[in-house]
Amino acid sequence: MAEAQGNIESKDFGIGIPQDSQGYYLKGAAHLDWGMKDRLARVFNARSGKTVMLAFDHGYIMGPTSGLERVDLSILPLVPYTDVLMCTRGVLRACIPPDCGKPVALRCSAGATVLKELSDELVGVAIEDAIRLNASAMAVQVYIGGEFEHKTIGNLVRVIDAGNAAGIPTLAVTAVGREMVRDARYLGLACRVCAELGAHFVKTYYCAEGFERVTAACPIPIVIAGGKKIAELDALTMARRAIDQGALGVDMGRNIFQADDPVSMIQAVRAVVHDDETPERALDLYQTLKSQSKGMVV
Ligand code: 5RP
């Protein structure tokens, strides 16, 4: 029986040896059906193998978050520059034009807000509605080690089962409860649990120490969340390091839509993720685009 304590320390992560993707460009996806692969190919760019997802689902727990007070005004200008829209069905139907041509990672967990225990979630979208909305992925939050761990894992496996029947991949979102530490040991455990349970890709946080072990031990793609707003160079540096250490993209929210110039910031993030730019050159791009957008000479 596996135990939480007293196990031999994990050490053979094969760092530097890429996982064989067995004939499909995305790790862990070679043996999925055509519809799954087609949807994953909408999420992960087939040229770079990576993705810049724009997360703007914060309102489902936080209400009108700074930068998302008016999704129609703040998010629509970003749509041309994102690979995937990550949002709730409410905002999708209310604010996003269906002819924008972007795939959707549909937030499918619900049931808690910042006013109460966040891990007390349930499945908030029926598979029929995800199909109706042509979702390219369904996103479910899991709180590994959290108060309602069991319930959120139940949510994840129910959505995976429904998605498998419909050919829609599931994105497991590893939320970190207040009592948890965002280190490689915890994040590695959380991501691996999601992969073992059948998620098709995972969203997690970057950690400065040992993130390459988190990605190496997760047999499916990892994208990172941005977290709270930090300086633009720091956010670009975090994205660079995460990609260099095996992440296959970002699912970033506040560090894009709360930037001084969100349209320039998302293009700078794209330069890091898809064009292999350094954070410094991406910051130059950000500043140049920002000056141009404000009509200044650079
Ligand atoms: C909350 C979410 C949010 O969509 C997302 O993580 C927030 O993105 P960011 O941290 O980059 O603002 O999944 O758990």
Other CB atoms within a 10 A radius of the CB of residue 87 amount to 27
The verdict on whether 50 is a catalytic residue reads: no
Asked if pLDDT for residue 253 goes beyond 60, the answer is: yes
Contact 52, 267 (CB under 8 A): no
Residues 166-170 have a mean pLDDT of 98
C-alpha of residue 274 to centroid of ligand 1, in Å: 21
pLDDT for position 60: 96
pLDDT tens for 58-78 read 999 999 999 999 999 999 999
pLDDT for position 94: 98
Indicate whether this model's pTM tops 0.75: yes
pLDDT tens for 35-60 read 999 999 999 999 999 999 999 999 99
Measure Cα distances from 149 to 119, 120, 144, 199 in Å. Answer: 7, 9, 5, 16
C-alpha of residue 235 to centroid of ligand 1, in Å: 14
Confidence of residue 22 (pLDDT cuts 50, 70, 90): confident
> What angle is formed at CA 122 by the lines to CA 116 and CA 37, rounded to 5 degrees?
130
C-alpha of residue 63 to centroid of ligand 1, in Å: 13
DSSP 232-286: HHHHHHHHHHHHHTT--EEEE-HHHHTSSSHHHHHHHHHHHHHH---HHHHHHHH
Q: Is residue 99 helix, strand or coil?
A: helix
Residue from 251, 255, 258 to probe ligand 1 pocket by mutation (most atoms less than 8 Å from CB): 251
Confidence of residue 296 (pLDDT cuts 50, 70, 90): low
CA dist., res. 215 & res. 217, Å (int) = 6
Looking at the CA of residue 175, tell me the nearest atom of ligand 1.
14
| The one catalytic residue among 37, 102, 116, 203 | 203
Give the largest Cα separation in the chain, rounded: 66
Domain 34-223+248-256 - what CATH class? alpha beta
Calculate the average pLDDT of the chain.
95
pLDDT tens for 118-143 read 999 999 999 999 999 999 999 999 99
Residues 179-202 have a mean pLDDT of 95
C-alpha of residue 44 to centroid of ligand 1, in Å: 18
Asked if pLDDT for residue 297 goes beyond 80, the answer is: no
Q: Kindly report the protein residue whose alpha carbon is nearest to atom 14 of ligand 1.
A: 175
Contact 212, 15 (CB under 8 A): yes
Asked if pLDDT for residue 1 goes beyond 70, the answer is: no
Q: Kindly report the protein residue whose alpha carbon is nearest to atom 1 of ligand 1.
A: 58
Residues 189-208 have a mean pLDDT of 98
C-alpha of residue 230 to centroid of ligand 1, in Å: 14
Asked if pLDDT for residue 180 goes beyond 90, the answer is: no
Instruction: Classify residue 219 by its DSSP letter.
Output: S
Instruction: Classify residue 152 by its DSSP letter.
Output: H
Looking at the CA of residue 256, tell me the nearest atom of ligand 1.
11
Contact 43, 103 (CB under 8 A): yes
Residue from 58, 65, 106, 113 to probe ligand 1 pocket by mutation (most atoms less than 8 Å from CB): 58
pLDDT tens for 67-113 read 999 999 999 999 999 999 999 999 999 999 999 999 999 999 999 99
Query: Which residue ranges make up each domain of the chain?
Result: 34-223+248-256
Residue from 53, 56, 141, 173 to probe ligand 1 pocket by mutation (most atoms less than 8 Å from CB): 173
Bridge partners (DSSP) of residue 52 are 250
C-alpha of residue 227 to centroid of ligand 1, in Å: 6
Instruction: Classify residue 17 by its DSSP letter.
Output: S
Tell me if 254 CB under 6 Å of ligand 1: yes
Confidence of residue 294 (pLDDT cuts 50, 70, 90): confident
Tell me if 106 CB under 6 Å of ligand 1: no
Measure Cα distances from 238 to 65, 141, 176, 210 in Å. Answer: 23, 22, 18, 13
